[in-house]
Structure 1
Amino acid sequence: MTTQTLNKNNLKKLKIIFSGTPIFAAKHLQSLANYKYNIVAVITKKNNKSKRGSKTIESPVKKIAKIYSIPTFEINCLSKDRKIVENLKKLNADVMIVVAYGSIVPHSILNLFPFGCINLHPSLLPRWRGASPISSSILFGDKITGITIIRMNESIDSGKIMFSSKCFIKKKETSYSLEKKLFKLGIYCIIRVLKKIEHKEPIKLISQNESLTTYAKKFKKENARIDWNKTACYIERLIRAFFPWPIGYFIFHNIKIKVIQSSVINNKKTHKIGEIIKISKKGIQVNTKNGIILLKKIQFPGKKIISIQDFINSNKKLLKTGIILN
């Protein structure tokens, strides 16, 4: 079922505060606004500085809020803002929706609204609580993921489940493609919950099974560095998990080479780990701890993404058969 099948006419009564920061959250905010929900305020993280430090970059959620003329609070830490509770009280909101805000919501806000604070999380909780559930589900080889809507409490992603829905992770799924899929599922799920609230339908709250809990840490750029001592299957998942950010890479002769696309060859050969076995128009074969990884698309610093056929045609001398990529 997609969001197009939902009726827009009955979605205007609840007064909602929306809290989120990245693109994933911004898409949900935009969809809710398009469905004519009454979003009375937005909470998002403050502007970031650009890499060169001369420009400030608005959060994706703030950009959407401006388009729809929604009042916005820019706060990096809700627990340290002395005025936010009083400011939110004045809005007389019914519920707060949180989608990847990026900071803990304190007790003083959790109980501020008649229907509480609702969190949309892109995993099947309690699996992958934390900051990077989408990347983690691909990196660790999950076959199924989904969306979980919880009634928030003071612990991270541990509130009672209000609604959840599953989706399959395809064999060649990247974080980019999976996020798009989860957004479509997410907006459907949150609207289902909001309609139940609005129509005063009972919602069964289900406690999470703590014995099944796993945590998705916040990834950094260095987490995307390829370790040839891992298996070919793991490296292939890493490359998909970290696209489009931070992008899997290896360093050779102090040059950072990003790997955009790859596949696994299961042949076992007696080569050293990290050794380039073969270079052809199909890709660069590199031996790993278990299996061979075929690098299909790469990117050199400051250059566009290229296929290995393009790499061969450009007469690059850096990567050759027999070289060890340590």
Structure 2
Amino acid sequence: MQKKKQSLRIIFAGTSNFSACYLKTLILSHHIILGILTQPDRPNTRGNIITQTPVKQLASKYNIPTFQPHTLQNQTDYINILHTKADIMIVVAYGLILPVCILHAFPMGCINVHASLLPNWRGAAPIQWAILKGEKKTGITIIQMDEKLDSGQILYQQSCNILPDDTTSSLLNKLSQIGSKVILKVLKKIQNKNIIPIIQDEKKATYAKKLSKSMGKINFFKDAQYIERMIRAFHPWPGTYIEIQNMKIKIHQANIIKSNLRYHIGQIVKINKNGMQVQTKKHILNIQKIQIPGKKIISVYQFAQTNNKIFQINKIITI
């Protein structure tokens, strides 16, 4: 006779599309989602329309109680969560720091899914920094949360290759697929008490600091390889851009052309069907796709056909 699966009573904390993939897996499992913590509704980037988080949208679809505190520093903001009598809290890209009383409120504690191979890239932007630094691998790590940032004992880890054309968006999709397939296995191991936690090596810890919009401005005094990684790392947010004639032009795609010729840094060397070639500290950055404020993404060549006063050969793009 097959043994009946024992359901866990779960509180889920998450905000993004990455989080929503894990939540959907849990909702469709035999486990019970008692409630959800997600960040408050905020204006979107287009039209400034107040928008629900992807996690809240999914929670609403399945009629799961949702809590959206602006902070967790006061007990009144999370008292309802403590009264749910959950077995465990699962945290995936939530965005707020949990107070100590929540970390210790549930019999099985709080576990966190983090998008890096801890102890590498603790913090807010692990995928972006892994791409930016030219790393060949990333992955997901599931940890038992403690009072420090992403420093808890490792319960599970799985790696994923970073391909030459990967962006933060594409890697998030890969990692959400990997993690959402194994989260149920990890919960089963926790239930059966047959998981062996691994202590992180603090000497190997690196930190992925939070990104800002200002970090997206391209500096051609960097080499082309770094800038190309930057374009992929900052897609979709905060994005990368150049400024010409007081216009902020977003860069969506570029590649590297190796060249020993030396032009002025930031000089537009050539514009053709392949893109716009700009001299960097080392090699040429060939910008292929751009976006003008308020317009759709377009190839540089298409744009240059009707806007040849903005992009001109030998023009220097100032930093």
Which of the five TM-score ranges fits, normalised by the shorter chain? over 0.9
CA–CA distance in 1 between the matches of 2:66 and 2:19?
A: 14
- 1:141 corresponding residue in structure 2: 134
Q: Which runs of 5+ in 2 are unaligned?
A: none
Inter-CA distance 170–51: structure 2 relative to 1 (3 Å threshold): closer
Aligned to 2:290: 298
Q: Which residue of 2 aligns with 1:69?
A: 63
Alpha-carbon spacing, 1:172–1:53, altered in 2? closer, same or farther (3 Å): closer
Cα distance change of structure 1 residues 11 and 243 upon mapping to structure 2, 3 Å threshold:
farther
Report the Cα offset of residue 66 of structure 1. 0.5
Q: What residue in structure 1 maps to residue 41 of structure 2?
A: 47
Q: CA deviation at 1:299?
A: 1.1
Q: Normalising to structure 1: TM-score of the pair?
A: 0.92
Q: Which residue of 2 aligns with 1:5?
A: none
- Corresponding residue SS for 2:73: helix
Structure 1 residue 51, shift from structure 2 partner: 6.2
Which residue among 17, 38, 53 is the counterpart of 2:11?
A: 17
Tell me how far apart the structure 1 counterparts of residues 4 and 176 of structure 2 sit (CA, whole Å).
Answer: 22
Asked whether the 8 Å contact 2:7–2:30 carries over to 1, the reply is: no
User: Does the residue aligned with 2:277 lie in a helix, a strand or coil?
Assistant: strand
Are 1:30 and 2:30 an aligned pair? Answer: no
Q: Aligned pair 1:82/2:76, yes or no?
A: yes
| 2:99 counterpart (93, 106, 111) | 106
- Rounded to whole Å, the distance in 1 between the matches of 2:245 and 2:164 is 33
* Match for residue 182 of structure 2 among 171, 176, 189: 189
Match of 2:116 in 1: 123
Q: How far off is 1:31 after superposition?
A: 2.2
The match for 1:4 is none
Q: Secondary structure at the match of 1:257?
A: strand
Equivalents in 1 of 2:47, 2:294: separation in Å? 20
Does residue 248 of structure 2 align to residue 267 of structure 1?
Answer: no
For these two proteins, the number of residue pairs brought into alignment is 316
Residues 69 and 77 in structure 2, CA contact (< 8 A), matched pair in contact too: no
2:163 corresponds in structure 1 to 170
CA contact (8 A) 1:161 1:207 kept: yes
How far is the alpha carbon of 1:54 from its aligned partner? Answer: 7.3
Contact 2:269–2:279, Cα closer than 8 Å, also in 1: yes
Distance 1:66 1:315 in 2: 46
After TM superposition, give the deviation of residue 11 of structure 1 in Å. Answer: 6.2
Rounded to whole Å, the distance in 2 between the matches of 1:290 and 1:108 is 52
Contact 1:12 1:38 survives alignment (8 Å): no
Asked if the contact 1:147–1:189 (Cα under 8 Å) also holds between the matched residues in 2, the reply is: no
CA distance in 1, matches of 2:291, 2:43: 26
The correspondence for 1:249, drawn from 241, 245, 270, is 241
In structure 2, how many angstroms separate the alpha carbons of the residues matched to 1:312 and 1:55? 33
| Gap change, CA 1:117 and 1:256, over 3 Å in 2 | same
- The question of whether the paired residues in 2 share the 8 Å contact of 1:16 and 1:41 is answered with yes
Distance 2:203 2:162 in 1: 23
Query: What is residue 202 of structure 1 aligned with on the other side?
Result: 194
SS for the counterpart of 2:76 is: coil
Cα-Cα RMSD: 1.8
- Aligned CA distance change for structure 1 residues 83 and 235 (closer, same or farther; 3 Å): closer
Q: Are 2:126 and 2:208, in contact at CA under 8 Å, matched by a contact in 1? A: yes
Note closer, same or farther for the CA distance 1:122–1:52 as it changes in structure 2 (3 Å cut).
Answer: closer
Residue 181 of structure 1: how far off its partner (Å): 0.2
Partner of 1:325: 317
* 1:57 Cα offset (Å): 2.1
Identity, % of aligned pairs? 45
Which residue of 2 is the match for residue 216 of structure 1?
208
Contact 2:114/2:141 (CA < 8 Å) preserved in 1? Answer: yes
Q: Unaligned 5+ residue runs, structure 1? A: 1-8
